[in-house]
Structure 1
Amino acid sequence: MTRVLVVQNTPAGGPGRIGDWLGEEGLTLDVVHAYDGGQLPQDLSGHKGLLLLGGGFMPDEDDRAPWLATVRELAGQALKRDVPVLGICFGAQLLAYVAGGTVRARHGQPESGSTELTLLPEALDDQLFHGLPPRVKSVEHRVDAITMLPRDARWLASSERCPVQAFRVGTCAWGLQFHPESTPQTIRGWNAERLREQGFDREELVRAAERDEPEARRVWHALACRFAAVVHGG
């Protein structure tokens, strides 16, 4: 069995369809509900991959999320041992932080809903991003941002409001600021009043995401399958 450790940081922040797709590709996901006292392993000896999910924290905010010290240690182990990592939203920020980058809270303009991403030249030969459309949509839900990538990172994608949307550190650790696991239905569960305060209308976000969903689903399914292949090959 090829096992992947999944760190879930909030009740609503599960692996979603990414988890389904990885399972279809033969991976067994061990989802740890860290927010609810789920026990994280001290090392990755039993796992061939690491999936870091979203959460409304800073990567070093141990007072609010005391399990983060262990997550940082696991991410550091993965980088040292070339264990494949996929970090999503907060998970990407934590990965960047562990590798030497900088993350800032409530930085720049917020992003929510289906957002256009632009792939950068270094994505052309990347294991996950090669051959994907140069511009593609994904659901976003972000107020914090990676403001400086680790020194040796490869910058793979950007958006109008957030320069760092995707990157790779080392040979097989990827950070995605966006949410490929999310669907239009996910947006229906967001706080409408908080979105209004940020200048968004929830129903408009849902309609836009529904319009973009067929292509987004095709693209992010392909990316998930490629990540599964990297894990199997590790």
Structure 2
Amino acid sequence: MLVVQHEAEVGLGRFAKPLQDARVVVTIVGPGTSTPIPNSVAGFDGLIVLGGFPGAQDDAAAPWLAHVCKLISQAVADEIPYLGVCLGAQLLALVAGGAVGPARKEPEVGLGQLTLDDACVTDPLLKDMRQKARAVQWHYDEVVTLPEGSRSLISSQHCENQAFRVGASAWGLQFHAEANSKSVKEWAYKDSLNVARLGLSLRALVDQVAIADAELDSTWVPLMDRWILVVADVE
């Protein structure tokens, strides 16, 4: 499985253990690692693109994004299972013909509530989820227009498209299902100026996720277990 990591602080988090437990061979590439991004997804049975602080259309500041979009386009065209998280979800939307822009209501930072659409009942990745769930949020942009033929699967009070599916086997998650309290601590201090502008407390952000870590494990580790099954079914 190929994983694109944009920044050192934005890794697999709670997704790492289920992948390890399932003995999935994971190749992590990208600016957040010492391994360059390959030219193709050929030879990989799944693609995960993680989040990061670059904007989805900030090609000048993050010139590797065009290369990542090429990989996503290949995965979608060849029906290689794809999972995009935050920035990875926004890149999926752009590649498939949607649009990304500033958050229409307000940015979401910290632990937030999600609502699952009824369509999740039959979705291979989300079918065993509760109708209400919590997850870590950390985004200032969002998918404002979904790609044609896709639909929103999860929403929140401030963001309509928290999760969506493109085609048979490509999913975008605006929220950070992988993020744990260690992740949030690193992000909070790196993004401290924006956190302060939102009137939020760094310590409160970290503490609320630390308290909820066990709950978040029980919610989102099974999602990665289901993702592994999706990849296995396609092989």
| TM-score interval (norm. to shorter) | over 0.9
Is 1:136 aligned with 2:133? yes
One-letter amino acid matched to 1:113: G
Q: Which segments of 5 or more consecutive residues in structure 1 lack a partner in the other structure? A: none
One-letter amino acid matched to 1:91: G
Contact 2:152 2:163 in 1 (8 A): yes
Q: What secondary structure is seen at the aligned counterpart in 2 of 1:86?
A: strand
Q: What secondary structure is seen at the aligned counterpart in 2 of 1:139?
A: strand
Q: Using the alignment, how far apart are the partners of 1:29 and 1:182 within structure 2?
A: 18
Q: Using the alignment, how far apart are the partners of 2:4 and 2:103 within structure 1?
A: 23
C-alpha RMSD of matched pairs (Å): 1.6
Q: What secondary structure is seen at the aligned counterpart in 2 of 1:62?
A: coil
Is 1:44 aligned with 2:41? yes
Correspondence for 1:65: 62
Correspondence for 1:208: 208
One-letter amino acid matched to 1:221: V
Q: Using the alignment, how far apart are the partners of 2:6 and 2:152 within structure 1?
A: 25
Is 1:32 aligned with 2:37? no
Q: Count matched residues.
A: 231
Greater shift after overlay, 99-108 or 39-48? Answer: 99-108
Greater shift after overlay, 173-182 or 20-29? Answer: 20-29
Q: Using the alignment, how far apart are the partners of 1:195 and 1:232 within structure 2?
A: 40
Q: From the superposition, tell whether residues 105 and 37 of structure 1 become closer, same or farther in structure 2 (CA, over 3 Å).
A: farther
1:35-114 aligned within 5 A: 38-105=35-102, 107-114=104-111
1:18 to 8, 15, 24: 15
- TM-score, reference length from structure 1: 0.93
Measure how far apart 1:169 and its partner are.
0.5
1:141-220 aligned within 5 A: 141-189=138-186, 190-191=188-189, 192-220=192-220
Contact 1:108 1:143 in 2 (8 A): no
* 1:7-53 residue CA offsets vs partner (Å, 9 max, x unmatched): 11112111122122222122111000335674222211110000001
Measure how far apart 1:88 and its partner are.
0.4
Contact 2:90 2:100 in 1 (8 A): yes
Structure 1 outlier segments of 4+, above 6 Å: none
Contact 2:103 2:159 in 1 (8 A): no
Greater shift after overlay, 7-16 or 162-171? Answer: 7-16
Greater shift after overlay, 17-26 or 169-178? Answer: 17-26
Q: Using the alignment, how far apart are the partners of 2:159 and 2:10 within structure 1?
A: 21
Identity %: 35
Q: Using the alignment, how far apart are the partners of 2:115 and 2:214 within structure 1?
A: 18
- TM-score, reference length from structure 2: 0.92
Contact 2:99 2:143 in 1 (8 A): yes
